Structure 1
Amino acid sequence: MKILFIGTGHMGSAILEQYANKNKDNEIFILNRNLENSKLLAEKNNVRYLTDLTEIKNIKFDIFIIGVRPIDCAKLFESLDEIDISNSLIISMVNALSIESILNSFKNSLNLSVIRMIPNMNAIIGKSLTSYTTFGDNKTLLNCGLEILKSFGKVFEITEDKYPSFVTLTGTSPAYIFEFLKAFEQFGLENNYDHKFLKELIAEQIISTVENWKNNDKETEMLIKEICVPNGSTIAGYNVLLKEKFLETVMKCLNASKEKC
């Protein structure tokens, strides 16, 4: 199959790199507004690049992976429809763009299949948590599309009404988690820890704590109470979080993200 990535910014290039490293059978092309960027990515990932959208007329692409800004989608879809991409699969990672909106953008192109998906930046290490929803009857194309998604992490099929909350929990949350980690990092640096050692220390502690939480049947509140013994150092710090309304702040953060998705 022939696959075209349209728009390879931070997310698109992360997905491209993971898939290109695992791909054996399909031909991969990329198209960006910045030709030099396309050339560099093509060379790095051993794929081909297009210089202009009109080149699509000469190549029958089976799959289009859309990674452009939402504001650019209408014009892009109009151009693709003029070319006629009937019987192909569109994989869209454009936030807040429904399958219905995608299909309504095409008048001439018939029998389209669609995978709406939202990855996160952990795709860069092959560990994205990617939500997806499918439309269409072409099982061959859809299965190929899902294999692309699986190449950069785990996939979760959801209904479209779940996207705002799912994207908040998986797509936007790395930024909030990094901010949380930054506090530990800053504390360690202020206490004269070597930065490389500090990152390893924090990472191991976070990972082991999450593993404990994941595999534990106890309620989260009970796990907290078991650590926060009276008059101890843990409860001293935890009381600051309560006083500063840490939980409420995080909930406000998540709800603000959900409203924007």
Structure 2
Amino acid sequence: MTKIVFVGAGAMAEAIINGLTKGNKISPEFIHVTNKSDVSQLNYLKETYDVQIVCEQKKAITEANIIFLAMKPKDANDALNSLAPYINKDATIISVIAGISIQTILNSLGNRPIARVMPNTSAAVGMSASAICWNELISDGSKLLIIDLLESIGSVKVVAEEDLHVVTALSGSGPAYFYYFAEQFESAAIKYGLEKGDARQLFIQTMEGAAQMLKNGDAEPEELRRRVTSPGGTTEAGLEQLMAHKVNEAIFACIQAAQNRSRELGKLFES
């Protein structure tokens, strides 16, 4: 049976654990979790998902088939150096650390199978948009296993490693952008008379419906927008304000800043 160890127990680790256990891909008894010092978080994961808390990290790492690196980028250097002597040579490393390259991980852990994954926190409800890349030491069988595991938390797209920076900006950070828009639309709706619960329900259904229309793939976003926008109508009036406030430029700047930060994090680690 595959034994998985999560090194790091934060929001992303929890989201993946939630998806894996809900999807019944891996029994909780084969999922082990450790972190730097937050015992209360480990106890929470144990109580919530019935996973195993790692008290003896070295032993767990030695016996692991798959190791998820899920610590914060600032903690990665110390963590990798401390783990390196104990990792099974046949273990597959799956990193969800933003910005840190496969080569950088190889420099710390030696030549071994390594995959980099950028999921998002929607993994907790089985709706992650995950992108993955790997080095040449990942076998075809391991690729299928990793994709199968990740599909229990959402969709998976194989990409070139260089593209993970923009993936991080788009889908890795994307849920936060969506929640920010939800905050603003709700606030505006409440200001102009709607109850909070009604505003939220209408916003959620609107976004779900629009996403489904886009997912059906019969038209580009621009065409779908045009279908909603009658000349001289309410939608046109609203869109004119979005354009006047240069929301498009703000979105480009948002994605640029996030991917730039992803690159910076990698360089900080390498230095």
Same topology, TM > 0.5: yes
- Match for 1:5: what amino acid? F
How much is the aligned-residue C-alpha RMSD, in angstroms? Answer: 2.2
Q: What are the Cα deviations for residues 8-40 of structure 1, in whole angstroms up to 9, with x where unaligned?
A: 101111111221231355711110221222122
CA–CA separation in structure 2 for the residues paired with 1:170 and 1:19: 20
The alignment status of 1:96 with 2:99, answered yes or no, reads yes
Q: Which range moves more in the overlay, 24-33 or 214-223?
A: 214-223
CA–CA separation in structure 2 for the residues paired with 1:184 and 1:139: 45
CA–CA separation in structure 2 for the residues paired with 1:79 and 1:46: 27
Distance verdict in 2 for CA 1:145–1:216, change over 3 Å: closer
Shift in Å, 1:4? 0.7
Equivalent positions of 1:1-261 (< 5 A) are 1-21=2-22, 22-24=24-26, 27-32=30-35, 33-56=37-60, 60-107=63-110, 112-135=112-135, 136-215=137-216, 217-261=218-262
Q: What are the Cα deviations for residues 69-114 of structure 1, in whole angstroms up to 9, with x where unaligned?
A: 112222222222222421111110001111111112124xx6x211
Asked if the contact 2:114/2:138 (under 8 Å) is kept, the reply is: no
CA–CA separation in structure 1 for the residues paired with 2:26 and 2:119: 22
Where 2:109 maps in the other structure, the secondary structure is coil
Using the size of structure 1 for normalisation, the TM-score is: 0.89
- Match for 1:66: what amino acid? L
Distance verdict in 2 for CA 1:17–1:243, change over 3 Å: same
* Equivalent position of 2:267 in the other structure: none
Distance verdict in 2 for CA 1:203–1:11, change over 3 Å: same
Identity of aligned residues (%): 25
Q: Which range moves more in the overlay, 10-19 or 192-201?
A: 192-201
Where 1:105 maps in the other structure, the secondary structure is helix
Structure 1 or 2, whichever has the larger Rg, is 1
Which structure 1 residue ranges, 5 or more long, are not aligned? none
CA–CA separation in structure 2 for the residues paired with 1:84 and 1:122: 29
CA–CA separation in structure 2 for the residues paired with 1:18 and 1:54: 26
Distance verdict in 2 for CA 1:249–1:79, change over 3 Å: same
- Match for 2:130: what amino acid? T
- Match for 1:31: what amino acid? T
CA–CA separation in structure 2 for the residues paired with 1:144 and 1:101: 24
- Match for 2:25: what amino acid? N
- Match for 1:198: what amino acid? A
CA–CA separation in structure 1 for the residues paired with 2:217 and 2:93: 40
Where 1:95 maps in the other structure, the secondary structure is coil
Distance verdict in 2 for CA 1:3–1:221, change over 3 Å: closer
Using the size of structure 2 for normalisation, the TM-score is: 0.86
Distance verdict in 2 for CA 1:220–1:8, change over 3 Å: same
CA–CA separation in structure 2 for the residues paired with 1:93 and 1:122: 14
CA–CA separation in structure 2 for the residues paired with 1:89 and 1:67: 14
CA–CA separation in structure 2 for the residues paired with 1:143 and 1:119: 17
Asked if the contact 2:7/2:67 (under 8 Å) is kept, the reply is: yes
Asked if the contact 1:89/1:142 (under 8 Å) is kept, the reply is: no
Asked if the contact 2:5/2:60 (under 8 Å) is kept, the reply is: no
Shift in Å, 1:220? 3.5
Distance verdict in 2 for CA 1:83–1:201, change over 3 Å: same
Distance verdict in 2 for CA 1:43–1:65, change over 3 Å: same
CA–CA separation in structure 1 for the residues paired with 2:13 and 2:93: 14
Distance verdict in 2 for CA 1:145–1:185, change over 3 Å: same
Across the two proteins, how many residue pairs are aligned to each other?
257
Greater relative CO (CA pairs within 8 A, separation 6+): 2
